[in-house]
Amino acid sequence: MTTDRLNLLEVKDLVQYFELPLSWVDKCLGKERRLVHAVNGVSFEIEPGEVFSLVGESGCGKSTIARTVVRLLAPRSGEIVFEGKEIGRLNDRELRPVRREIQMVFQNPYASLDPRQRVGEILMEPLLFHGIAESKEEAVERVSRLMDIIGLHRDQADRYPHQFSGGQRQRVGIARALATNPKLIVADEPVSALDVSIQAQILNLMMDLRREFHLSYLFISHNLAVVRHVTDRVGIMYLGFIVEQARCDDIFERPLHPYTQALLDAAPSVDKSRIQAPLSGDVPSPMILPPGCVFASRCPRREKLCDEERPTLKKTGLRQVACHFAEC
Amino acid sequence: MGNALLEIEGLKTQFHLFAGTVKALDGIDLTLKEREILGLVGESGGGKSVAAYSILRLIDPPGEIASGRVLFEGADLLEKSEAEMRRIRGKDISMIFQDPLTALNPLHTIHDQIDEMLRLHTSLGARERLEKILSLLREVGISNPEDRLRAYPHQFSGGMLQRVVIAIALAARPKLIIADEPTTALDVTVQAQILRLMEGVVKNHGAALILITHDLAVVSGLTERVAVMYCGRIVEEGPTDLVIHSPLHPYTKGLLNSIPRMGKKSGRLPQISGMVPNLLELPDGCAFAARCPDASEKCLRAAPPMRPAGPGRKTACHLHAGGEAER
């Protein structure tokens, strides 16, 4: 990353953990509270106009990062710097102007739209709340423009979410994010609830909007093939760590970390004639992190060192990898 | 090998709703040979799950199997009594569901849930059943099964649970296994393990498999033949590698094109325009005509029937009316 260029978003050593609630029986027995270590010191940057993706399996912490960046969660430690300003410790009032600039698109378009609000009302709410539209008339006009941009008919603003298909609802979700003219959109699995033919429509729309409005995306996905089509840079996550970070083409053409390699091999593809299963077992529990490399228990290249010492992130240019046996 | 295990002829399943009748299955024909692995692919609303449930006669009101025949080993399942069906379900035809957590009973141990299958469908004694359960669990890749017998579903991860569900499906040595999106709820690396496992055990047991999925990539790695469904009809059927590498029906082509590929990065993804029509208001002509780039006036007038199109292949499209696979 060139340091003289101002990054839009910098996440530095982000740590996020959750306490599991104890039942009253456990409390009486004096058991200790258990922690789920969701994110364990993650750093990345996003430049203006860039698309950065976080990829990993469930429980790797990618959604937790997304929710922390939009400040639905406060970081336990570490910094979130947006346009040069630390936003990790701001309170709700101080966050208001920031929320305009960072918007979110959610995974499930059925759950993320209020079923009792008409689409027009859903889109108008951020406009009025943030004072973007000065009057009701201006807000109506802006809603119509938003409907045009996302490819829905203006008249459909009078309809309720249940009258739309999944793909159309996700368009509404994107329009709502777009309403405040944000600089960064955090999209958490925006197409994984959609049918294949609709996925392509939504991905194309998101990329058109990126060009038109010079948007940056933090794109969260478990699907490497989807990521390949939309992303400039990728971070591969495992158990709350970024184990490899690189430009998109490098990740796909020359993966360095054994986990990245395994993800690429395991992904089913119409171009492959056989399904490979490179890894055995499941992701271990994020409640007890191993002292060494977190991937060691499933790694085909595991050696003694891996169990004893956690590998540090090695950096060369735009590439980063955390493995004892990989060099950038 | 080579004998037909399952023959579906003109199967129609409808749901009578207040708003009208949904033709979820609008006359499908499908043949499955012994030991064959067939993929049933399509987007939501295509009718793939309804097809599976119809084979097992699990359609509840307001749904109804309106007409057709489902011949399993030559006998029509639609004419069997409910008691006979209950003996067939699980014994001859078993099913693997999408979400292993809801497929299993949270109040019973893993042992009891596999044992139930053996008690109902086999004449094994208690000791033999235990042996069988342990060998099944070993076969689906659960190490130290002795220690896991008393565990409850919530103590297993999603991938491990799906292994248990597969063990249950295999328990009574069925001739046909229907797997409805068996890996959709799982992570990529676990999905790969489960698919490899299913391939192995199905071949080991000499069973046939119908794999229902929305993911053409899953089908391409596992199945010999594939049928593509759209709006309650099969629109294309053939050997998997041929269908995937030279699709005939415009819907199959569109579906394949719109999948993001890992190998290459192109700017825009080709997309199928529009969306799946409302099943309550299906058009008279081809259901795909409104989204089809090659639709002609004929497509809007009459629905194309399934016709042979090359060796082992069939498609329902007016563009392939001659029977030859024209491009």
CATH number at residue A186: 3.40.50.300
Q: What mean pLDDT do residues A238-251 have?
A: 94
pLDDT band at A310 (very low <50, low <70, confident <90, very high): very high
Residue A198 · residue A150 · CB < 8 Å: no
Least confident of A127-141, B204-218, B227-241, B311-325: B311-325
Residue A218 confidence (pLDDT) above 70? yes
* Residue A3 covered by a domain: no
Residue A321 · residue A301 · CB < 8 Å: no
Q: What mean pLDDT do residues A147-169 have?
A: 91
- A223 close contact with B: CB closer than 8 A: yes
Tens of pLDDT, residue by residue over A257-271, are: 999 999 999 988 888
Pick from B4, B57, B49: nearest CA to B225: B4
Q: B152-180 burial string, b = 16+ CB within 10 Å, else e?
A: ebeebbbbbbbbbbbbbbbbbebbbbbbb
Residues sharing a CB contact under 8 Å with residue B306, sequence separation 6 or more, in sequence order: B29, B234, B237, B314, B315, B316
Residue A40 · residue A240 · CB < 8 Å: yes
pLDDT band at B322 (very low <50, low <70, confident <90, very high): low
Q: Which two tokens stand for residue B66?
A: 């309106």
pLDDT band at B157 (very low <50, low <70, confident <90, very high): confident
Helices marked H in chain B — which ranges? 48-55, 82-88, 100-103, 110-121, 126-139, 145-148, 158-171, 188-205, 216-222, 240-245, 250-258, 297-301
Q: Do A266 and B189 touch (CB under 8 A)?
A: yes
Dihedral angle of Cα B97, B99, B100, B103, to the nearest 10 degrees: -60
Residue A235 · residue A322 · CB < 8 Å: no
Tens of pLDDT, residue by residue over A72-94, are: 999 999 999 999 999 999 999 99
Which domains does chain B possess?
4-92+174-261+269-320 (3.40.50.300)
- Of residues B108 and B221, the one with the higher pLDDT is B108
Q: 């009594």: which residue's tokens?
A: B81
User: DSSP state, B305?
Assistant: P
**What pLDDT sits at residue A25?**
84
Q: What mean pLDDT do residues B38-67 have?
A: 91
pLDDT band at A318 (very low <50, low <70, confident <90, very high): confident
Q: Do A168 and B275 touch (CB under 8 A)?
A: yes
Side-chain-facing half-sphere of A276: CA atoms under 13 Å: 13
Least confident of A96-105, A189-198, A275-284: A275-284
Strand order from edge to edge, sheet including B20-33: B20-33, B4-17, B63-72, B75-76
Q: Do B244 and A270 touch (CB under 8 A)?
A: yes
User: What is the bridge-based pairing of β-strands A9-19 and A35-46?
Assistant: antiparallel
Q: Which residues of B touch A204 (CB under 8 A)?
A: 268-269, 271
Q: 């393990």: which residue's tokens?
A: B193
Neighbours of A303 (CB within 10 A): 12
| Substitution target from B155, B243, B258, B280 for chain A, most A beta carbons within 10 A | B258
Mean pLDDT of chain A: 91
Q: Which two tokens stand for residue A200?
A: 């392509």
Q: Which amino acid is at A78?
A: G
Q: Which residues of B touch A165 (CB under 8 A)?
A: 275-276
Q: Which two tokens stand for residue A203?
A: 């991905």
* Residue A104 covered by a domain: yes
Distance of alpha carbon A157 from alpha carbon A134, whole angstroms? 20
User: DSSP state, B101?
Assistant: H
Residues on chain B bordering chain A, Cβ-to-Cβ distance under 8 angstroms: 43-44, 157, 159-160, 187-193, 195-196, 199, 214-218, 220-222, 241, 244, 254-256, 258-263, 265-273, 275-276
**What pLDDT sits at residue B1?**
46
Least confident of A110-119, A159-168, B26-35, B263-272: B263-272
Q: Which two tokens stand for residue A226?
A: 């989807």
pLDDT band at A5 (very low <50, low <70, confident <90, very high): low
**What pLDDT sits at residue B248?**
94
* Residue A292 covered by a domain: yes
Q: 């004639």: which residue's tokens?
A: A273
Q: Which two tokens stand for residue A257?
A: 């970390």
pLDDT > 90: percent of chain B: 60
**What pLDDT sits at residue B326?**
41
Residue B187 · residue A58 · CB < 8 Å: yes
Of A195, A222, A263, nearest to B44 by CB-CB distance is A195
Residue B197 · residue B191 · CB < 8 Å: no
Residue A313 · residue A295 · CB < 8 Å: no
Distance of alpha carbon A247 from alpha carbon A119, whole angstroms? 38
User: Residue B236: enclosing H or E segment and its boundaries?
Assistant: strand B233-239
Q: Do A264 and B268 touch (CB under 8 A)?
A: no
Query: What is the length of chain B?
Result: 327
Number of domains in chain A: 1
Neighbours of B123 (CB within 10 A): 7
Residue A123 confidence (pLDDT) above 80? yes
Largest interatomic CA distance in chain B: 68
Residues sharing a CB contact under 8 Å with residue B240, sequence separation 6 or more, in sequence order: B39, B219, B220, B223, B224, B225, B226
User: What is the bridge-based pairing of β-strands B307-308 and B225-230?
Assistant: unpaired
Q: What mean pLDDT do residues A181-195 have?
A: 92
Residue B174 · residue B121 · CB < 8 Å: no
Q: Is the ipTM of this complex over 0.85?
A: no
Residue A282 · residue B159 · CB < 8 Å: yes
Q: How far is CA B215 from the centre of its chain?
A: 11
Range of the domain at A183: 9-116+160-321
Distance of alpha carbon B8 from alpha carbon A158, whole angstroms? 45
- Helix H, strand E, coil C: the string for chain A is CCCCCCCCEEEEEEEEEEECCCCHHHHHCCCCCCEEEEEEEEEEEECCCCEEEEECCCCCCHHHHHHHHCCCCCCCEEEEEECCEECCCCCHHHHHHHHHHEEEECCCCCCCCCCCCCHHHHHHHHHHHCCCCCCHHHHHHHHHHHHHHHCCCHHHHHCCHHHCCHHHHHHHHHHHHHCCCCCEEEEECCCCCCCHHHHHHHHHHHHHHHHHHCCEEEEEECCHHHHHHHCCEEEEEECCEEEEEEEHHHHHHCCCCHHHHHHHHHCCCCCCCCCCCCCCCCCCCCCCCCCCCCCHHHCCCCCHHHHHCCCCCEEECCEEECCCCCCC
Tens of pLDDT, residue by residue over B86-102, are: 999 999 999 998 888 88
Q: Do B217 and A269 touch (CB under 8 A)?
A: yes
Residue A278 · residue A291 · CB < 8 Å: no
Q: Do A273 and B221 touch (CB under 8 A)?
A: yes
Phi, psi of B69 (to 5 degrees): -135, 145
Distance of alpha carbon A57 from alpha carbon B1, whole angstroms? 40
| Substitution target from B99, B203, B269, B273 for chain A, most A beta carbons within 10 A | B269
Q: Do B221 and A263 touch (CB under 8 A)?
A: no
Nearest CA in chain A to B253: A197
Global pTM reads 0.85
Q: How far is CA B13 from the centre of its chain?
A: 16
Tens of pLDDT, residue by residue over B221-235, are: 889 999 999 999 999
* Residue A149 covered by a domain: no
**What pLDDT sits at residue B238?**
95
pLDDT band at B273 (very low <50, low <70, confident <90, very high): confident
Residue A1 confidence (pLDDT) above 60? no
* Residue A45 covered by a domain: yes
User: Residue B228: enclosing H or E segment and its boundaries?
Assistant: strand B225-230
Q: Which of residues 168-207 of A touch B (CB under 8 A)?
A: 168, 195-201, 203-204, 207
